[in-house]
């Protein structure tokens, strides 16, 4: 039964509970068993909220017994990156310093809204320290391993999210993305991920990294689960100024409307020059599967390399400023690799930061013009599939590059201006999965999810449960 439940999507799980085939208590116990059985191999969870999960599952069963509908995600287990507040749990954000903080007294807004939709929270997931990492090789909690190949990274900084969903421990996970931290784990772990438009979903109750770049979003193994989780978390929230006035734009009801008159193009130039073969093949396969919306067209984002450089600078500056007091008082508690990057950011001249922000405004205007002629852009998510644990260098077009900073090669120019992105997994372009970015203009998440659904139905982009392999 546990293996059968692991293979179900979130909506399939909710349907099974709704029909009486299984109850929420059994679903949650099965999830807890799988988490315990795989912890030593994957190291996805840092905290398992067993008592909470059992209470929430019982409440779902009681609701059905009383003929009340708990919501579209009734009884569906989910877990969150450990920078989201969970009542009674210390929000460690992958750090040593935060372990001395008191436990959270309330849930993050996004967690509260998922639970309101009937989902059951089973715990917190491993991540890179303070989210400044692309591989989730955490100095305090250990590395999270990729379920498709335990010798490889699950990506980061939301690596625990990617691994937990790919391994079938939970159907849905909640992560964050500043420069690529949803899209990189989605690519490495071969699952769907959604980074919505900046400000679409409330970040209230999550530990920040870079205020002007931070996004939150869901991971799932099906597009329908991605859409339902996204819809459940929508709505204005005065606790997050970026989300204070955002209306709800439900995506799930529109999933099966097809491509319609959507116009699709490949991103060329920066996103194609020097792109390694597997990443390029995946992008081309996705584009060709979207015919006739894709007519072989290629477009370029002007100065995309500069956009990535400016994103680096803003990230370092805002991150260093946020952690300056902790650096002064507890520098020895940081992972040295993370600490030194924050220190460099804290010392960045203000003129550089201001120049980067001015360039950001220019770049946003240029990209707005691109979207006058196309609705969805296709680009690689990561330059390579999952790297090995401890791997420091990778070779791209004959050039050796450091792994950690360069996994965001294709993601940073996109999140730099807050565009919505779906990471679409491709399992057929090579021995390891790799994802493609589907990118739209701000507030057009529904268009992306429609395209993702077409790709899922075509079989080009799928997210099967990983069979744990050494």
pLDDT band of residue 399 (cuts 50, 70, 90) is: very high
* Whether the predicted model's global pTM rises above the 0.85 cut: yes
Beta strand pairing call for 393-396 and 421-426? unpaired
Contact 183, 165 (CB under 8 A): no
201 pLDDT more than 90: yes
- Structural domain contains residue 419: yes
| CA 359 to mean position of chain CA atoms | 26
Residue 329: active-site member: no
Give how many domains the chain has, as a whole number.
1
Contact 75, 64 (CB under 8 A): no
429 pLDDT more than 90: no
Mean pLDDT (the chain, rounded)? 96
Contact 300, 270 (CB under 8 A): yes
431 pLDDT more than 70: yes
- H or E stretch covering 262: none
- Structural domain contains residue 463: no
As a whole number of Å, the CA-based R_g of the chain is: 21
pLDDT band of residue 295 (cuts 50, 70, 90) is: confident
DSSP class per residue in 401-452:
EEHHHHTTTTTHHHHTTT--EEEEEESSSSSS-EEEEEEESTT-HHHHHHHH
Residues β-bridged to residue 206: 84
Contact 121, 111 (CB under 8 A): yes
Q: Tokens 């993050």 appear where?
A: 108
Instruction: Give just the sign of the alpha carbon dihedral 470, 122, 61, 202.
Output: negative
Closest CA to 452 of 440, 469, 442: 440
pLDDT at position 1: 65
DSSP 386: P
User: 95, 157, 186, 202: which is the annotated catalytic residue?
Assistant: 157
470 pLDDT more than 70: no
CA dist., res. 267 & res. 225, Å (int): 27
- Structural domain contains residue 376: yes
Which region among 132-146, 195-209, 235-249 has the lowest average model confidence (pLDDT)?
Answer: 235-249
User: 30, 47, 81, 202: which is the annotated catalytic residue?
Assistant: 81
| CA 382 to mean position of chain CA atoms | 13
pLDDT at position 82: 98
139 pLDDT more than 90: yes
Residues β-bridged to residue 401: 394
Residue 212: active-site member: no
Please state, for a pLDDT cut of 90, what percent of the chain lies above it.
94
pLDDT at position 2: 72
In CATH, what number is assigned to the domain containing residue 277?
A: 3.90.1300.10
pLDDT band of residue 271 (cuts 50, 70, 90) is: very high
User: 181, 186, 187, 206: which is the annotated catalytic residue?
Assistant: 181
Average pLDDT in the 367-381 region? 97
Range of the domain at 308: 2-458
469 pLDDT more than 80: no
CA dist., res. 57 & res. 14, Å (int): 12
- The 10 Å Cβ neighbour count of residue 80 is 35
178 pLDDT more than 70: yes
């Amino acid at each position: 039964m546990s293996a059968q439940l692991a293979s179900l999507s979130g909506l399939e799980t909710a349907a099974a509970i709704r029909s009486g085939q299984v109850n929420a208590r059994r679903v949650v116990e099965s999830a807890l068993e799988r988490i315990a059985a795989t912890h030593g191999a994957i190291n996805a969870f840092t905290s398992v909220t067993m008592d909470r999960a059992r209470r929430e599952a019982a409440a779902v069963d009681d609701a059905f017994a009383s003929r009340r509908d708990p919501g579209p995600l009734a009884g569906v287990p989910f877990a969150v990156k450990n920078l989201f507040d969970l009542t009674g749990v210390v929000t460690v954000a992958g750090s040593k310093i935060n372990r001395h903080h008191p436990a959270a007294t309330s849930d993050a807004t996004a967690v509260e809204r998922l639970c309101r939709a009937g989902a059951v929270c089973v715990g917190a997931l491993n991540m890179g320290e303070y989210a400044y990492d692309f591989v989730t090789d955490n100095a305090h909690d250990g590395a999270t391993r990729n379920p498709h190949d335990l010798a490889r990274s699950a990506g980061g900084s939301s690596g625990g999210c990617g691994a937990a969903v790919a391994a079938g421990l939970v159907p849905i996970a909640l992560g964050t993305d500043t420069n690529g931290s949803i899209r990189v784990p989605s690519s490495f772990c071969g699952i769907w991920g959604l980074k919505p438009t900046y400000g679409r979903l409330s970040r209230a109750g999550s530990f920040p990294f870079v205020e002007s770049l931070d996004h939150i979003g869901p991971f799932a193994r099906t597009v329908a689960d991605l859409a339902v989780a996204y819809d459940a978390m929508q709505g204005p929230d005065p606790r997050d100024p970026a989300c204070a006035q955002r209306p709800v734009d439900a995506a799930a009801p529109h999933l099966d409307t097809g491509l319609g008159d959507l116009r699709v193009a490949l991103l060329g130039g920066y996103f194609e020059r020097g792109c390694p073969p597997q990443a390029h093949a995946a992008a081309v396969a996705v584009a060709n599967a979207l015919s006739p919306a894709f007519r072989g067209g290629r477009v370029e984002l002007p100065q995309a390399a500069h956009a990535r450089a400016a994103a680096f600078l803003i990230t370092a500056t805002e991150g260093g400023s946020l952690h300056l007091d902790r650096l002064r008082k507890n520098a020895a508690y940081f992972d040295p690799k993370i600490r030194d990057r924050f220190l460099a950011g804290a010392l960045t001249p203000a003129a550089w930061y201001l120049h980067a922000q001015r360039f950001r405004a220019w770049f946003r205007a240029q990209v707005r013009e691109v979207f006058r002629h196309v609705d969805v852009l296709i680009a690689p998510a990561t330059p390579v599939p999952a790297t090995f644990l401890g791997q420091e260098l990778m070779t791209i077009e004959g050039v050796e590059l450091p792994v950690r900073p360069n996994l965001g090669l294709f993601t940073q120019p996109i999140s730099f201006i807050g565009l919505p992105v779906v990471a679409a997994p491709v399992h057929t372009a090579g021995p390891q999965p790799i994802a493609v970015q589907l990118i739209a203009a701000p507030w057009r998440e529904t268009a992306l999810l429609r395209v993702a659904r077409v790709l899922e139905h075509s079989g080009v982009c799928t997210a099967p449960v990983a069979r744990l392999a050494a």
